[in-house]
């Protein structure tokens, strides 16, 4: 064996689920919320979380070693990041997506090999239970949790869309499948002349309206109930779809892009926001893994490159297309009619 070869990267990745599950369990146990009140010693923390004595010390020190907690004079406390993003009593909490990862995806990814062999989803559907949206949408608590999780997950990219897209040239904006309303709210906050809203399944309406009201934007942002497989999309100068197209197969993706084209005026814009895979398909690991997640979660969904999306837009009739990087793995594709 060559001396210069090291197995570290392989081993770190191969056992990466140890660290991942340690974080997910810490969120499940509300470690960061308890420590949001005040720093705590091992025994008080163990007692509050009702943990067995055997591994509590290792668990908290592992969180320190993973950069998720600080420890000073025997007192554990949150880092600035975990205190901001993982304390459930703060509006900046973004752990909803990770709670979902803990309850559902962690188990389902255990069957990735089977998914790769069969091409079939490996979530609830595999056991004859309703699919992702049906399972979540039949329970109001799960629904609200999921929609909030989406807001947290997409917030940084939504802020960048509001900043980088030239909304000054347009008057109206509708987000398709906008969930709680994270994107329309960010756009409306930055651009006071814009009106519009969110087209989504009817059950989403109360969660959207409560969120919009919390920003006093209810006069400018309305909910349009509908189903994008059955209904035409509402007309607007700008139509956006954030993390929508990757849920569906190619035919469905092209159908949705076509519906957006029909609903736009000449000169109007479609914004597709996703964790786009780089065109060479070799760098954006998050986008590629997200696509494997679509294998686990959906019958035909997959993520795609900017070039793929520009091709579908051109085929639908869009005159001009452009790919703009937003933040982290997220980019937007803009199509002008």
Ligand X SMILES: C[S@@+](CC[C@H](N)C(=O)[O-])C[C@H]1O[C@@H](n2cnc3c(N)ncnc32)[C@H](O)[C@@H]1O
- Give the x-and-dash track for 133-152 against ligand X (CB under 6 A): x----------------x--
Report the C-alpha gap between 162 and 164 in whole angstroms. Answer: 6
Binding segment for ligand X among 74-82, 224-232, 309-317, 328-336 (CB under 6 A)? 224-232
| Per rule CB under 6 A, count of chain residues that contact ligand X | 16
Assess 155 for contact with ligand X (CB under 6 A): no
Tokens representing residue 190 in the block:
């930055």
- How do 172-176 and 195-200 pair as beta strands? parallel
Assess 243 for contact with ligand X (CB under 6 A): yes
Active site residue 246: yes
SS3 percent helix, strand, coil of the chain, rounded to 5, is 55, 15, 30
Report the C-alpha gap between 29 and 48 in whole angstroms. Answer: 10
Q: Are 194 and 161 in contact (CB under 8 A)?
A: no
Q: Is 62 helix (H, G, I), strand (E, B) or coil?
A: helix
Tokens representing residue 158 in the block:
């939504």
Question: Of 237, 182, 175, 189, whose CA–CA distance to 217 is shortest?
Answer: 189
Rounded to the nearest 10 degrees, the angle between the axes of helix 42-49 and helix 53-65 is: 110
Assess 154 for contact with ligand X (CB under 6 A): yes
Assess 201 for contact with ligand X (CB under 6 A): yes
Binding segment for ligand X among 76-84, 197-205, 254-262, 315-323 (CB under 6 A)? 197-205
Residues shown for the chain: 337
Measured from the CB atom, is 33 or 151 closer to ligand X? 151
Return the residue matching tokens 């062999």.
Answer: 117
- Give the x-and-dash track for 49-88 against ligand X (CB under 6 A): ----------------------------------------
Task: Identify the residue among 83, 96, 178, 329 touching ligand X (CB under 6 A).
Answer: 178
Binding segment for ligand X among 29-37, 176-184, 260-268, 322-330 (CB under 6 A)? 176-184
Report the C-alpha gap between 158 and 336 in whole angstroms. Answer: 19
Measured from the CB atom, is 106 or 137 closer to ligand X? 137
Assess 18 for contact with ligand X (CB under 6 A): no
Assess 94 for contact with ligand X (CB under 6 A): no
Given the rule CB under 6 A, which residues bind ligand X?
A: 133, 150, 154, 177-179, 182, 200-201, 204, 227-229, 242-244
Q: Which residues are catalytic?
A: 246
């Amino acid at each position: 064996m060559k001396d210069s070869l090291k197995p570290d990267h392989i081993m770190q990745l191969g056992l990466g689920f140890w660290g991942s599950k340690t974080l997910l369990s810490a969120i499940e146990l509300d470690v960061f919320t308890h420590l949001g009140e005040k720093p705590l010693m091992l025994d008080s923390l163990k007692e509050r979380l009702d943990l067995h004595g055997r591994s509590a010390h290792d668990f908290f020190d592992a969180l320190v070693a993973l950069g998720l907690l600080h420890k000073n004079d025997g007192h554990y406390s949150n880092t600035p990041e975990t205190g901001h993003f993982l304390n459930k009593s703060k509006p900046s909490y973004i752990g909803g997506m990770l709670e979902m990862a803990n309850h559902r995806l962690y188990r389902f990814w255990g069957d990735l090999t089977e998914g790769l062999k069969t091409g079939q989803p490996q979530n609830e559907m595999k056991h004859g239970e309703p699919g992702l949206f049906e399972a979540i949408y039949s329970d109001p608590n799960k629904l609200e949790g999921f929609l909030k999780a989406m807001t947290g997950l997409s917030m940084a990219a939504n802020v960048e869309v509001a900043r980088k897209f030239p909304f000054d040239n347009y008057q109206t904006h509708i987000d398709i499948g906008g969930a709680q309303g994270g994107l329309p709210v960010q756009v409306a906050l930055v651009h006071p002349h814009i009106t519009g809203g969110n087209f989504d399944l009817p059950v989403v309406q109360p969660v959207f309206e409560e969120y919009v009201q919390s920003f006093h934007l209810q006069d400018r942002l309305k909910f349009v109930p509908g189903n994008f497989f059955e209904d035409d999309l509402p007309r607007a100068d700008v139509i956006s779809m954030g993390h929508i197209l990757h849920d569906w197969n190619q035919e469905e993706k092209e159908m949705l892009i076509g519906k957006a084209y029909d609903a736009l005026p000449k000169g109007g814009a479609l914004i597709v926001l996703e964790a786009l895979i780089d065109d060479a398909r070799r760098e954006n690991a998050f986008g590629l893994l997200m696509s494997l997640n679509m294998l686990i979660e959906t019958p035909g969904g997959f993520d795609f490159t900017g070039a793929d999306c520009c091709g579908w837009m051109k085929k639908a009739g869009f005159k001009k297309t452009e790919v703009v990087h937003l933040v982290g793995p997220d980019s937007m594709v803009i199509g002008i009619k």
